[in-house]
Amino acid sequence: MAPLMDDHELASNGTHFTTDCTSYKPRFLIVGAGSRGTAYAAAIVRSDLGIVAAVAEPIPFKRKLLGSSYIWPHASPQSHQEFDGWKDFVSYEQHRRKDAPAGNTSTLQGIDGVFVCVKDELHCQVVTALAPLGLHIMCEKPLATTLSDCISIQRTLSQYPQRIFAIGHVLRYSPHNMLLRHLLLERKVIGDVLSMEHTEPVGWWHFSHSYVRGQWRKESTSAPSLLTKSCHDIDFILWLLCSPPPDGDQQMPHLPAKISSTGSLKQFRRSRKPAAAGKATNCLSCPLQKSCMYSAPRIYHDRHLAKGITKWPVDIVNPEIPSILSSSGPEAAKAALMASLAEDYDSNSTPVADIESRPWFGRCVWESDNDVCDDQVVTLTWDDDEANGKGGKSAVFHMIAQSLAQCQRRGRIYGTTGEIEYDSKQITVHDFITGESKVHNPEVPVNSHHGGGDDGLAAMFAQAVAAVENSKMGIKDAQREFLGCTVEEMVRSHAAVFAADKARKESRVVGLDEW
């Protein structure tokens, strides 16, 4: 068996970069100044591999907050640094380019790449509108909320000269997962893979925040939770079991033949509402406010704001709370939080469009309009491919809301000569031949989400753009070298998610070739 790579000797992980310094740092626009846009802006600044040059965001407070933190600190914004939305940027950029050939001295330096971090259902519209500008694009996951929109993005991009394109599948870019893939595919420490189990424990209150009260609670206004929460878990499985290692055969990967799935909304429904809660629809008017585990004041105030935590999830409830706390103190911040949590609707009189247009973070979890799965299992099955020397295997993925762990993924991979178990911190390799077990402890960055995956993806995207803009690499080479994923692969992994949810709804096994 080949010697294992040292845990801190990763050839290309998300935090150790070996690429030579470039002569030009690419300039990036952040479209959408929410939590994800802010996370990528922070990652670019931390990496020092690019410049956050502008932000497009319709909510003034969010726009100013991101801008003052990462674009114009200690200064006033200039017109080319902030836009009311992506349409304003497109209009500005078209006029800027029109003026440039005339030698207009007021024409400012342009943008090289864009981070698209708007609502999921807007991804297709934004990406296809940006494509004609020839900018490099990183789109937050999911790529789109329907397979037809994913394909529309792929087709639109193919109509223009190729540029770097990335997707927010951040699990590929954490030091932990890059080491796991290295051990599995390059070192082959457990021989050929036979089976895999992978679990994403969402977290009991996290699910209530995002998928019961939050913007991803309804399939009709967002998408199935398998897509919005776990599309990068399905991608992670395909990345480990389908995609060839960097130095391997790059032909068509060995894809699953069949996908099946079961799942449902088990807990967060009206039939499970405690009788003592009566007719209350909002936590602030509920007699169980102080004792219910899903009490909004307990989750957002007691667990977070009272401890000085004003970032996620508190700033999702009210993005102004961090500044209120720093300027006016804890009582004013608490009052602002409670005012936001007190907002409610009447199912009989409030227009459905108004209810569905926004989150309701103080709403009773048993009285919400959510319908997405809080428990789902997906099974992927590979047939033997004897002609290419690839054996059959299987993978099982479990997304569960009611868990103590919060997004701390864990799993096991079974091979012909060993077994790997992993969580979000350690990787343990059990060797059947020697009888030995070895524990690996990859670096887990403190400030970056997803085990360093946010920083890893942002850095790889920035390096790919820089390599192209500095004429050091061609588009295809840079896409493969730094991102390791084509647009076709991105669409393919999304297709697997849509196929799995179709299998769940129709209670049948779906052939992936249908998709």
Tens of pLDDT, residues 340-394: 999 999 999 999 999 999 999 999 999 999 999 999 999 999 999 888 888 999 9
Task: Give the separation between CA 489 and CA 486, rounded to whole angstroms.
Answer: 5
How many CA within 13 A on the CB side of residue 87?
Answer: 3
Q: What's the rounded Cα separation, in Å, for the pair 148 and 156?
A: 12
CA distance 206 to 200: 12
The model's pLDDT over 201-229, given as tens digits with 9 standing for 90+, comes to 999 999 999 999 999 999 999 999 999 99
* Strands 136-139 and 113-116, bridge-based pairing: parallel
Could you identify the residue written with the tokens 């380019």? 97
| pLDDT band (50, 70, 90) for residue 409 | very high
Q: Say yes or no to pLDDT of 476 above 80.
A: yes
Residue found by looking up tokens 């103080």 in the block = 362
| Residue 266: band (very low, low, confident or very high) from pLDDT cuts 50, 70, 90 | very high
Query: Is the N-terminal amide bond of 175 cis, ω within 30° of 0?
Result: no
Q: Given the DSSP bridges, would you call strands 258-264 and 510-511 parallel, antiparallel or unpaired?
A: antiparallel
How are strands ordered across the β-sheet holding 418-422? 437-440, 427-431, 418-422, 410-415, 193-201, 393-400, 375-382, 258-264, 510-511
**Amino acid identity at 65:** L
Reduce the DSSP state of residue 455 to 3 states and report it. helix
Parse the chain into domains and list their residue ranges: 175-268+371-447+486-514, 270-356
Q: Looking at domain 175-268+371-447+486-514, what is its CATH homologous superfamily?
A: Dihydrodipicolinate Reductase; domain 2 (3.30.360.10)
HSE, CB side, 13 Å, CA atoms: give it for residue 297: 17
Residue 101: per-residue pLDDT? 67
**Residue 74 confidence (pLDDT) above 80:** yes
413-462 pLDDT tens trace: 999 999 999 998 999 999 999 999 999 999 877 776 777 889 999 999 99
Would you tell me the crossing angle of helices 123-130 and 147-158 to the nearest 10 degrees? 0
- Report CA Rg, the chain: 24
Q: Show the tokens assigned to 274.
A: 């405690």
SS3 397: strand
Residues of the chain with pLDDT > 90, as a percent, come to: 86
Structural element, H or E, at residue 158: helix 147-158
Separation CA 246–CA 482 (nearest Å): 11
SS3 call for 57: coil
Residue 502 CB neighbours (<10 A): 17
Q: How far apart are CA 398 and CA 52, in angstroms?
A: 37
Q: Would you say residue 4 has pLDDT above 70?
A: no
